[in-house]
Amino acid sequence: MSRPLLPLKAGAIVFTLLWTAWMMWWSGSFSSANVIILALCGAAVGYLWYRAMRWQFERMGMLPGKDDASGAS
C-alpha cells in the first residue's frame, strides 16, 4: 500500500461504513436482503468516492500522478 494513499484509503473505508450505516438506519428495514443490498451498494459508493477523491487530489497536485508513482523514468 502506497504511503501517500493510506489516508485516502482509510477515509474511503470510513466513508463506506458511515454511508452504509446511514442508509440502513434511514430505510428502517433490517431484513437480510436489505442488509446485503445496502452493503454491496455501500462498497460501490465507497469505491467511487475513493476514485473521485484520488482523481481530484492528483489534479490538485496533492498526490503523485500515475506516471510518478511507478518510479520508472
The per-residue pLDDT for range 10-32, each reduced to its tens digit, is: 999 999 999 999 999 998 888 99
Q: Which residues contact 49 (CB under 8 A, 6 or more apart)?
A: 12, 15, 16
- How far is residue 35's CA from residue 53's CA, in Å, rounded to a whole number? 26
Give the domain extent around 48. 5-60
Q: Which candidate, 59, 60, 55, 22, places its Cα nearest to that of 41?
A: 22
What is the pLDDT of the chain when averaged over all its residues?
87
| Lowest model confidence (mean pLDDT) among 18-22, 33-37, 48-52, 69-73 | 69-73
Domain-located, residue 65: no
Tell me the average pLDDT across 33-40: 94
Domain-located, residue 11: yes
Domain-located, residue 68: no
Q: How many domains does the chain have?
A: 1
Tell me the average pLDDT across 53-70: 79
